Amino acid sequence: MADATESRPAERLKRGLGLTLLLFAVVALVVGVYRERAISRAAAEIEVEKTEAAAVTVFYFHGDERCRTCNKIEAETERVVSTRFAAELASGELVLKVVNFDRPENLHYRDDYQLAFGTVLVRGRGEEAAWKNLEEVWDHVNADPPAFEDYLVANLRQMLESGR
């Protein structure tokens, strides 16, 4: 009986060590999966940035508070770009991004492009690309929709052709 009493603490120690090792393995696996996903996300973000740097980008910038005209500018910009530049969108030569510049991760756009209110902005290719704030969209969107489309198309074509 002395042997059975002495083996119980040893069994408990073995079981405790086994559970500790199992817990360690599970934690290591979870950390490894988390790191792999973080690396994959970072690689995907870098790929998106490279793709966008090679494309002309049409931004529609807006804030948290939006009026009816703001929503119309966004809708009309999306319509014009998707119908008049479908081939360029499909090839990746042109990218359309809708960005809320009031979100913390997007605040830098306010300084980057001197933004004070919602607008359409076209940026050329490359890291030091030329850009143009298309503020006249506000003048045309309600008063003269065909002029809105002409204005947007002309500026996009100019940026696409200049390659900047």
pLDDT tens-digit readout, 19-77: 888 888 888 777 777 777 666 555 544 444 444 467 999 999 999 999 999 999 999 99
Quote the pTM value: 0.67
pLDDT tens-digit readout, 109-133: 999 999 989 999 999 988 778 999 9
CB 125 within 8 A of CB 55: yes
Q: How far is CA 33 from CA 27, 41, 43, 78, 121, in A?
A: 10, 12, 15, 38, 39
DSSP 119: E
**How far apart (Å, rounded) are the C-alpha atoms in residues 123 and 159?**
8
